[in-house]
């Protein structure tokens, strides 16, 4: 009887060990966010600034996920499970662009609200992100953007291809390289809007 009791106790302990092993702690994930880095321009007085909406954005499916994606050797791609975006890129990129544009145009009327109801905006921007890739030490951002004048329906299209070195700061450096690249693209867009705005006025 005694031996049998012991056996039961032993198996219970073993099971517990296995279960507890399953409950081992996952490694801590790092979260990253894109930072607006554009400098505020002072070309336009605030009251004259155009209202802008970043209306729609498309992303390559490859990077449209919470994890950071880094290209490896050849055509290999690493999806970094423990390095994640704090917010989905589909939201983050428009927000960043809006922030940058707001600073560059000196306008506080730049939003990311994509609904067409907010058609009071002077310009609507459609962004088609063709590439949003990070290599080991640099990032490449390729954006095709379209600025549509709401009133006349006229539109202007441009493309920004930015290659930003990441330096040696690890993934944090890569993310800030992304931020800088997007800031450069924002700069292109802002210039285009300013040119358009000047003509319209």
Partner 1 sequence: MNETSQLPDLSQIPDAISERGRFSQLVWIIPVITMIIVASLAVKSCLDRGPVITITFKSGEGIEAGQTKIKYKNVQIGEVKAVTIAKDRSQVLVTAEIFKDAGWLLMEDTRFWVVRARISRNSISGLGTLMEGSYIGADAGISRQSQYEFKGMEGPPVIAIDEPGRQFVLHALAIGSLDITSPIFYRGIQVGEVISYELDKDGRGVSLKVFIRDPYDQHVKANTLFWHASGIDFTIDANGVKVNTESMVSILLGGISFLSPESLGNSQPARPNSTFTLFANKDEAMKRLNAVVETYNLVFMESVRGLLTGAPVDLRGVTVGEVTRISLDLDPRNNQISTPVEVQLYPERLWAFYRGKPQRGKPMDSRQLLNTLVKHGLRANLRNGNLLTGQRYVALDLFPKAMPSKIDWSKNPPEFPTITSSMEQFQTTLMKIVQKIEKLPLEELTDDARQTIRTLETTLQKIEKLPMEELAGDVRQTIRTLDITLQKIEKLIKNVDTAIIPEVHSTLEDARKTLDDVRKILGDAKKTLSHDAPLQQDLHETLRELSRAAQSLRVLGDYLERHPESLIRGKEDDR
Could you say whether residue 25 binds partner 1 (CB under 8 A)?
yes
* The 3-state secondary structure of the chain, one letter per residue: CHHHHHHHHHHHHHHHHHHHHHCCCCCCCEEECCCCCCCCCCCCCHHHCCCEEEEEEECCCCCCCCEEEEECCCCCEEEEEEEEECCCHHHHHHHHHHHHHHHHHCCCCEECCCCCCCCCCCEEEEEEEEEEEECCCEEEEEEEEEEEECCCCCEEEEEEEEEEECCCCHHHHHHHHHHHHHHHHHHHHHHHHHHHHHHHC
Segment lying near partner 1 (by CB under 8 A), choices 44-52, 114-122, 130-138, 190-198: 114-122
Segment lying near partner 1 (by CB under 8 A), choices 20-28, 136-144, 183-191, 193-201: 20-28
- Which of 1, 4, 26, 47 lies at the binding interface for partner 1 (CB under 8 A)? 26
Considering only residues 59 to 98 of the shown chain, the ones binding partner 1 according to CB under 8 A are: 65-67, 78, 80-83, 88
Q: At its nearest, how many Å lie between partner 1 and the CB of residue 57? A: 14
Could you say whether residue 201 binds partner 1 (CB under 8 A)?
no
Could you say whether residue 2 binds partner 1 (CB under 8 A)?
no
Q: At its nearest, how many Å lie between partner 1 and the CB of residue 79? A: 8
Could you say whether residue 20 binds partner 1 (CB under 8 A)?
no
Binding footprint of partner 1 on the chain (CB under 8 A): 21-27, 29, 65-67, 78, 80-83, 88, 115-118
């Amino acid at each position: 009887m005694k031996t049998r009791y012991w056996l039961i106790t032993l198996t219970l302990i073993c099971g517990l060990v296995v279960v507890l092993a399953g409950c081992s702690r996952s490694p801590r994930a790092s979260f990253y966010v894109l930072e607006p880095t554009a400098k505020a321009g002072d070309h336009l007085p605030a009251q004259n600034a155009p209202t802008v909406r970043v209306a729609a954005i498309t992303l390559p499916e490859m990077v449209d996920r919470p994890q950071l994606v880094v290209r490896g050797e050849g055509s290999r791609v690493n999806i970094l499970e423990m390095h994640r975006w704090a917010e989905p890129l589909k939201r983050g990129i428009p927000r960043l662009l809006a922030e940058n544009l707001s600073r560059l145009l000196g306008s506080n009327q730049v939003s990311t609200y994509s609904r067409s109801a907010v058609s009071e905006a002077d310009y609507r921007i459609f962004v088609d992100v063709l590439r949003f890739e990070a290599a080991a030490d640099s990032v490449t951002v390729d954006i095709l953007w379209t600025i549509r004048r709401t009133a006349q329906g006229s539109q202007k299209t441009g493309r920004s291809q930015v290659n930003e070195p990441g330096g040696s700061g690890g993934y944090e450096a890569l993310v800030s390289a992304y931020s800088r690249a997007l800031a450069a693209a924002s700069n292109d867009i802002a210039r285009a809007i300013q040119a358009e705005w000047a003509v319209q006025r």
